[in-house]
Structure 1
């Protein structure tokens, strides 16, 4: 997996949000006693540990989204085994690594708390982040990126409004949860960046990380809504998650030139996994150990070991590539 972030939780899932939600967070798919223990641990996690867990979530979400696209490119090159390797690794990053980090950080709360996180994130992206990115891209002559950022800003405003309506329904019991948006599947072929300014490239990277993390967290929020008997809210979160990944992330990936040849994609994956296995996660583990956050330290160590295995698998695939 690689690193940097992203977006709505660039936004709603920043470290301070994670810290504030931790007090009421509900871990998913765990027994009640363990759930209570996890919430207690989340309440007392050191600020740096929470920050590192958020960074881990951003990286894992971005890896999931990127590896999914890399898998599709491998299929186009008739490298089906490599495509499957990318897809299975993507699922590990999302369904194991990110999920475990979210549980430790107390990311998921009540339906109302989850909606508030989503509203805050979408508001920031609608009013501040994407509008600012559009202005900068226009100044730098990247007009296609400016148009995309403007379009996504409008989408995020609609997402915010839908979540606001849902929040009223959840907190008052009156009204109807909005229908979920429909995501258009945007293909991401191999290609070079379509923007020229370094600032636009950096903003695209930030935006892609944000969209990937928004997708991941909204899927967690959807799971929570289903668990609490609110399928309409679950569908709203799932539909919005689909837009973030299959439209926003994909459109940004096209402009950024994220997907290259399978050989290049494997090289990139190997570099990312090596950094996580040898530097990023061991550093997180060391900091967590120093402040007594032993559960988080164990998670970071275990994830580092997994990433080393991913690196080895990608290296083998590259060595065998024909």
Structure 2
């Protein structure tokens, strides 16, 4: 759903560890997303297929987050049937499409590998991405965005430090896993963008996709930690995932004007799902097939079929609105 962000600014957070082992079937964390499916490729995937799966994960994670916000707005408008449709579709994006892509790409590794992956991403966001976004927003006169970007940069530094401490504990058996952070939940209601510069809007889009993927991946890492008996680490992953979704992404969504009226939200969803069904995923399917990555191609083909069904369901919901 939606245009997939491909800017290199997100690479540090979103890049998959191509050398990581394929994820086993994982136990779902209590109240969290189900684990990656045990459906994995039988050989190493080609680089382009991995890149396309990365893009797929970004889009599916973002769709989950956006549809969840759209559902809440439909509830506020008393449109329970539309809210239910958005929520069920969001769950499909996260618990089927994203987790199977993650399994194919071998996103989940050992607890130590997962921590190293997160440390790299959080370091990049703390030291480079959000600091640059803040400087650019300030230069463009988007002071509210500059403040938010600076606050998130500081949060990401704290996340990195917590993950470093957890990695030391995991590797040496000394020390303790830090307590999970508490999310300062940001409400997101319908409204226009609160920023004016095109550069700030583009940076918000990049940030939204990055935070959505971080949330999704950290929930998968939490499931693996629970499977290995490390409940303290699982709680750290889950708490950090909540911050990424309910505080960072929500704050960015409010500034970006992501949520509009339910009618507009349905139009947005239809456009995104149709684009993925007819253009984005068929292109990925063609490349994976040509590369001989048949399992990945099959997954992408089936996902494209689901996208067409989503678009049709959203169109029907839109037509039923008065």
Give the structure-1-normalised TM-score.
Answer: 0.94
Q: Secondary structure at the match of 1:179?
A: coil
User: Partner of 2:310 in structure 1?
Assistant: 310
Counterparts of 1:279-294 in structure 2 under 5 Å? Answer: 279-294=279-294
Task: Give matches, 1:199-238, under 5 Å.
Answer: 199-238=199-238
Task: Identify which of 12, 25, 28 aligns with 1:28.
Answer: 25
- Give the deviation of 1:258 after TM superposition: 0.2
Contact 2:74 2:262 in 1 (8 A): yes
The number of aligned residues is 312
Q: Which residue of 2 aligns with 1:243?
A: 243
2:33 counterpart residue number: none
1 CA distance for matches of 2:248 and 2:202?
Answer: 16
**For residues 103 and 254 of structure 2, what CA distance do their matches in structure 1 show?**
32
Which residue is equivalent to 1:198? 198
Is the CA contact (8 Å cut-off) linking 2:130 and 2:150 kept in structure 1? yes
Measure, in 1, the Cα distance between the counterparts of 2:301 and 2:319.
Answer: 27
1:144 matched to which residue of 2? 144
Distance in 2 of aligned mates of 1:86 and 1:224: 28
Tell me the CA shift for residue 19 of structure 1: 1.3
Task: Determine the C-alpha separation between the residues in 1 that align with 2:314 and 2:144.
Answer: 34
Distance 1:279 1:27 in 2: 31
- 1:3, 1:62 within 8 Å by CA — same for their partners in 2? no
Counterpart Cα distance in 1 of 2:310 and 2:304? 10
Counterpart-to-counterpart distance in 2, 1:124 and 1:233: 22
1:12-52 CA-to-partner distances (Å, cap 9, x unmatched) read 331xx43132xx3423349xxx95x83643xx200000000
Q: Does 1:171 align with 2:168?
A: no
1:73-127 deviation digits (Å, cap 9, x = unpaired): 0001110100010001000000000000000000000000000000000000000
Counterpart check, 1:82 vs 2:76: no
- C-alpha RMSD of the superposition: 1.7
Unaligned runs of 5+ in 2: 28-36
Aligned 1:110-189 pairs, distance under 5 A = 110-189=110-189
Alignment-derived partner of residue 13 in structure 1:
14
Q: Please state how far the C-alpha of 1:186 moved relative to its aligned partner.
A: 1.0
SS at match of 1:151: helix
Asked whether the equivalents of residues 5 and 209 of structure 2 are also in contact (C-alpha less than 8 Å), the reply is yes
**Aligned partners of 1:310 and 1:49: how far apart in 2?**
24
The answer (yes or no) to whether the contact 1:166–1:177 under 8 Å persists in 2 is yes
Deviation at 1:8, TM superposition (A): 9.6
- Residue 207 to residue 274, structure 1, CA distance change in 2 (3 Å): same
* Conservation of the 8 A alpha-carbon contact between 1:8 and 1:211: no
Partner deviation per Cα, 1:185-205 (whole Å, 9 max, x = no partner): 211010000000000000000
Instruction: Give the distance between the partners of 1:106 and 1:39, measured in 2 at CA.
Output: 9
Check conservation: 1:60, 1:94, Cα contact below 8 A: yes
Contact 2:41 2:296 in 1 (8 A): no
Secondary structure of 1:19's match? coil
Check the 8 A contact 2:22/2:107 in 1, yes or no.
Answer: yes
Asked if the contact 2:285/2:297 (under 8 Å) is kept, the reply is yes
